[in-house]
Amino acid sequence: MEYKSENRICQNCKQSFTIELDDFGFYEKIKVPPPTFCPECRIKRRLSWQGYRIFYKRKCDFTGEMIITTYHPDSPYKVYRQDIWWSDQWDPKSYGKEIDWSRPFLEQFKELMLEVPHASLATVYSTMVRSDYCNAASACKDCYLCFKITGGENSAYLNTVVDGKNSIDCSFLNHCELSYGSININKCYKTFFSQDCTECHNIWFSRDLVGCSDCVGCINLRMKQYCIFNKQYTKEEYHRKFLGLDFGTLEDIKKFQKQTEEFMETQPRKQFHGVKNVNVSGEYISNSKNVHDSYLFSNGEDLRYCQFLKSGGAASSYDWSFFGDKSELMYECCWCGLDSSNVKFSAWNYYNQNVEYCFGCHHSRNLFGCVNMPKGEYCILNKQYSKEEYHITVEKIKKQMKEIPYIDKVGRKYFYGEMLPAELAPWYYNEATVYEWFPTTKEKAVKEGCNWRNPDPKEYQKSTVQVPGHIKDVEDKILEAILKCIDCGKNYRIIRMELEFLRRFNLPIPLSCPLCRDRSRIKLLNPMTIFNRKCAKCGVEIKTSYAPERLEIVYCEKCYQQEVY
């Protein structure tokens, strides 16, 4: 069929968005109709399907014991302890449903979501050692409150990490050790309060450094050592100056951060974070080819509107958030990947082929509208079909979904071709990943038809301790204390591993909770939105995630390279 690019009005936000010629080509290739939500509303809908870090205690509906889970105790879902959920002690097919052709298909999917037991957590639990309070995790040893992590050791409060060791309070780390308060760091050792750095060690309050060591408050340096605010010192001078710096109180840190920011405002930024790309647009993308309007991953090919994919072999996909890993032909998926192909409108699935409208189905193929069914084949609404019946019935459902769409509580229609509605997700807006990237108020979320979890007053008690200003004055008894976050008011604790780390590197006790700390780090990243701006040096038009009103001096790729190398 011949297409031209077309403007459409988003069903959700009523803004206009464009569907390009190539997009139509992709939709035709994977046999789906074009979307009715704009790209941003699509991301928000997808990210509503990942709840991974707000823990609750509730009963396991199989054993009756208390377990840790992301499912709120008052939520109407059945929850099984992970090892039970993965075992053959229950049968997901026993919940199989006949299709009721007179009612919207997704309404029947919704009922299944409420009936079939859910896994308490999403870890590869057999690879986790003494790391009970971690989720979306595998291969962790002695980790605490680490999330979206593959390979962790002796670490706490990490988010989105591959191979993190002896690190505390970091997000988006790859192969790092002994790091603190840092974000988007790759192959580094001892990085503190730093961002966008690769192959560095002993760096503090720095940004965009490559191959550097012993630097403080530096930006845009390559293969440098002993620098402070980009000024070169001798080894002796540097160490003398470094010894004169004390980061043992929050005030010291804030003061130094302010000084760093003022210095960095005078230094250029590259229009885009990422290297070794061909034909790429978006932000934080490396080693990729033909990737557009995407965010934060490397090694992708032929992708559009994709975010947060793990390194390695994500190809020929649109609208895919988390987690990648050798998969292709993915469309409107969240938390899906690992040797998967042709997965659509689904969440929390891996090792899957030809799967649509599924949640919690792993190692499966040819499933439609199934819930929590590992190792299934030719099933619809968890009911077994023969291969022939399956294909005929799926075509019939797609037609029926066009005639009788699911309509959510604010009137949005979900025909075949739309991602699962956010209101069917087991997590509320402020429990899911969407809240991290698109924070909002309860009023606004509810108005948009989202569910909102009210805080539990039991978690907002008074602090039982006066936290000393300097780390040298902190005694071990702080480990028994309850602290109260200065940002959100929620209670939190200091753990031994953390206290030892803070003492070792002379860092103060944080006054905000782990969640607020992570969220304030995420805010340091540039946004997903791309703006038009002019290069501050040569004036050429550039596309960048630095909004025009931001104070940074932004250079085009060419001018930046001339300045930096």
Contacting residues toward Zn ion, per CB under 5 A: 10, 12-13, 38, 41, 485, 487-488, 490, 513, 516, 535, 537-538, 556, 559
| 3 state SS of 553 | strand
For residues 269 and 208, give the distance between their C-alpha atoms in angstroms, rounded to a whole number: 9
For residues 440 and 452, give the distance between their C-alpha atoms in angstroms, rounded to a whole number: 11
Which tokens in the block code for residue 446? 């509810």
For Zn ion, the closer of residues 10 and 478 by Cβ is: 10
Provide the minimum distance between the beta carbon of 88 and Zn ion in the complex, in angstroms, as a whole number: 41
* Amino acid identity, position 107: E
For residues 461 and 456, give the distance between their C-alpha atoms in angstroms, rounded to a whole number: 10
For Zn ion, the closer of residues 10 and 114 by Cβ is: 10
| 3 state SS of 392 | helix
For Zn ion, the closer of residues 76 and 548 by Cβ is: 548
Provide the minimum distance between the beta carbon of 18 and Zn ion in the complex, in angstroms, as a whole number: 12
What are residue 177's phi and psi, to 5 degrees? -140, 150
Non-local CB neighbours of 473 within 8 Å, separated by 6+ positions: none
- What is the radius of gyration, based on Cα positions, of the chain? 25
Non-local CB neighbours of 165 within 8 Å, separated by 6+ positions: 152, 153, 154, 155, 176, 177, 178
For Zn ion, the closer of residues 16 and 266 by Cβ is: 16
For Zn ion, the closer of residues 13 and 467 by Cβ is: 13
Provide the minimum distance between the beta carbon of 525 and Zn ion in the complex, in angstroms, as a whole number: 19
Which tokens in the block code for residue 387? 């291969």
Q: Could you list the beta-strand ranges (E) of 381-446.
A: 383-384, 406-407, 413-414
Provide the minimum distance between the beta carbon of 39 and Zn ion in the complex, in angstroms, as a whole number: 8
- Residue that the structure tokens 């004036």 belong to: 539
Provide the minimum distance between the beta carbon of 534 and Zn ion in the complex, in angstroms, as a whole number: 9
For Zn ion, the closer of residues 541 and 549 by Cβ is: 541
Provide the minimum distance between the beta carbon of 159 and Zn ion in the complex, in angstroms, as a whole number: 14
Helices assigned H by DSSP within 116-220: none
For Zn ion, the closer of residues 294 and 340 by Cβ is: 294
Provide the minimum distance between the beta carbon of 419 and Zn ion in the complex, in angstroms, as a whole number: 13
For residues 361 and 375, give the distance between their C-alpha atoms in angstroms, rounded to a whole number: 7
For Zn ion, the closer of residues 156 and 178 by Cβ is: 156
Q: Are 34 and 45 in contact (CB under 8 A)?
A: no
For Zn ion, the closer of residues 11 and 311 by Cβ is: 11
For residues 70 and 55, give the distance between their C-alpha atoms in angstroms, rounded to a whole number: 5
Pairing of strands 147-165, 183-186: unpaired
Provide the minimum distance between the beta carbon of 68 and Zn ion in the complex, in angstroms, as a whole number: 19
Provide the minimum distance between the beta carbon of 464 and Zn ion in the complex, in angstroms, as a whole number: 17
Provide the minimum distance between the beta carbon of 537 and Zn ion in the complex, in angstroms, as a whole number: 5
Non-local CB neighbours of 451 within 8 Å, separated by 6+ positions: 423, 428, 429, 445
Non-local CB neighbours of 455 within 8 Å, separated by 6+ positions: 490
For Zn ion, the closer of residues 153 and 431 by Cβ is: 431
Provide the minimum distance between the beta carbon of 19 and Zn ion in the complex, in angstroms, as a whole number: 13
Provide the minimum distance between the beta carbon of 558 and Zn ion in the complex, in angstroms, as a whole number: 6
For Zn ion, the closer of residues 118 and 517 by Cβ is: 517
Which tokens in the block code for residue 435? 């809240």
| 3 state SS of 534 | strand
For Zn ion, the closer of residues 398 and 490 by Cβ is: 490
Non-local CB neighbours of 282 within 8 Å, separated by 6+ positions: 291, 292, 293, 294, 295, 528, 530
How far the first Cα of the chain sits from its last, in Å, is: 48
